[in-house]
Structure 1
Amino acid sequence: MSATPNRQALVIGASRGLGLVLADELVRRGWRVIATARQRGGELPAKADASDGLLTVELLEMTSQEQLAALRARLTDTRLDLLFVNAAIDRGDLPIHEVPTDMFTEVMITNALSPLRVVETLRDLVVPGGTVAVMSSEQGSISQNTEDGYELYKASKAALNQLMRSYATRHADDEHTKLLIDPGHNRTRLGGPDAPLAPTESIPAVVDVLEAQAGALGLQFLDRHGKTVPW
């Protein structure tokens, strides 16, 4: 990431939960932030109105290639120090043999395919030395998959990690920092009300990691403390 005071970030998937808190935390630290939401309304526009111009909102349904192309066209003259893709869905705790095909397809498209489409479409807006980061999960770690449950979600995050690894290999010489981030188990719509962490606790630590890793080359899979998560 640039060391200049006018750092700019694009946060994909910021209408609620971790993405909303991430956009808010970056603004608090003086970043200019473009944040996307699937639809109008919610907390994001009010935060933009109160941000003194540091936060702006764009509409994007991430799974729509047409909307993604339109966003890219609108941002043609934008230069980013950070591109952060935050998006995931969970469709319940079924063993994989009970998962309907359409559910499998929906989760894989949203959690694995679409984030990489976003990264590929917008990566040329990221300046040399800038960061491309994607929100992953420790549940995407194959070596740590030692407990039952949520097989489709785990598989989608493992697929995301593998696709990001392929992306990093293909773009090894682009001078971008590349990160997969495990924010921990948070109390969000996805994480549930009994999760041990609040986003306001975990996300400032995540931003610390993003800022500390500025300029590091290669792909890393890190938790909110900056520690490596095993693949």
Structure 2
Amino acid sequence: MKNSTPDRPIALIVGASRGLGVAVATEYLRLGYEVYGTVRSDAHTPLHDLREAGSDGLHIERVDVTSTGEIAALHDRLAAHLRGRAIDVLFVVAGVSLAPQDARAIDMSDADIVTTMLTNAIAPLRVIEGLDDLVGPDATIAVMSSGQGSIGRNETGGFEVYRASKAALNQLMRSYAARRGTDRPLLLMAPGWVQTDMGGNGAPLTVSESIPALVATVEHQRGIPGLRYVDRHGEPIPW
């Protein structure tokens, strides 16, 4: 791992290997951040391609967010490397969707349901809690949610377990905010339906139409305490 750069703000992007995550990492590098991006395994990813292309200030760490042991190990590696410097932006992007749009929850396997719920709802809270002492007191914490996590806007159905996992994430973040009473900005971000491996080629938005606006919204919310559930333009989404 390269030495850190003391005069640059730090962004930790959890789940940055490809898709939305590597796009978020790219945008923070463009904004002048020192970026720590995580991948799930040792396999080569688009995030590695970004580093090999000469991106200055990009560090790659490995963590499986469903493993509390790996989260703890990531904490220790980051603490040793940062040497007292605080993370300015923690953005948890990691997520999965393991069934097609028309799949019914009752037809999914127990294993796929558990993996979806653990990855999308529980793991982000474990990451936030597990890395808490490395994050600055006025830092921004963002988690990639989805408009499909809105209970109030669900009038069409579809993606049943994925929707439920994002609604659970939103509820857990509300509980976290109430329990901690934090002054940090806490953001649940909905990027829109985006053309990625998970979103599919038929999605209406490209990554370049979603992520720069989304990161700009996160940056605009810095210093504003409290939990918000918003789209990529900063517009509130009904819970």
**Normalised by the size of structure 2, how large is the TM-score?**
0.91
Instruction: Structure 1 unaligned segments of length 5 or more: list them.
Output: none
- Report 1:213-228 matches (<5 A): 213-228=221-236
Contact 2:29–2:55 (CA<8 Å) still a contact in 1? no
In 2, distance between residues paired with 1:127 and 1:80? Answer: 6
Corresponding residue of 1:114:
123
| Residue pairs, 1:17-166, within 5 angstroms | 17-40=19-42, 41-51=44-54, 53-76=56-79, 77=83, 78-93=85-100, 94-166=103-175
Residue 10 of structure 1: aligned partner: 12
* CA 44–7 in structure 1, closer or farther in 2 if over 3 Å, else same: same
In the TM superposition, structure 1's runs of 4+ consecutive aligned residues that sit over 6 Å from their partners are: none
Contact 2:144-2:190 at 8 Å conserved across structures: yes
Q: Distance in 1 between matches of 2:215 and 2:67?
A: 28
1:111 CA displacement: 0.7
Counting matched residue pairs gives 227
d(CA) in 2 for partners of 1:177, 1:202: 21
Q: Equivalent residues in 2 for 1:194-209 (5 A)?
A: 194-209=202-217
Identical amino acids, percent of aligned pairs: 45
Structure 2 segments unaligned to the other structure (5+ residues): 1-5
The Cα shift of 1:51 comes to 4.2
Whether contact under 8 Å (1:32, 1:55) holds in the other structure is yes
Q: 1:51, 1:180 → 2: CA distance?
A: 31
| 2:3 alignment partner in structure 1 | none
Task: Provide Cα deviations, 1:34-61, integer angstroms capped at 9, x if missing partner.
Answer: 0000123122123224445311100111
The CA distance in 1 between the partners of 2:177 and 2:154, in whole Å, is 24
Which amino acid letter does the alignment assign opposite residue 227 of structure 2?
Answer: L
Contact 1:123 1:132 in 2 (8 A): no
Code of the residue aligned with 1:148 in structure 2: it is G
Q: CA deviation at 1:156?
A: 0.4
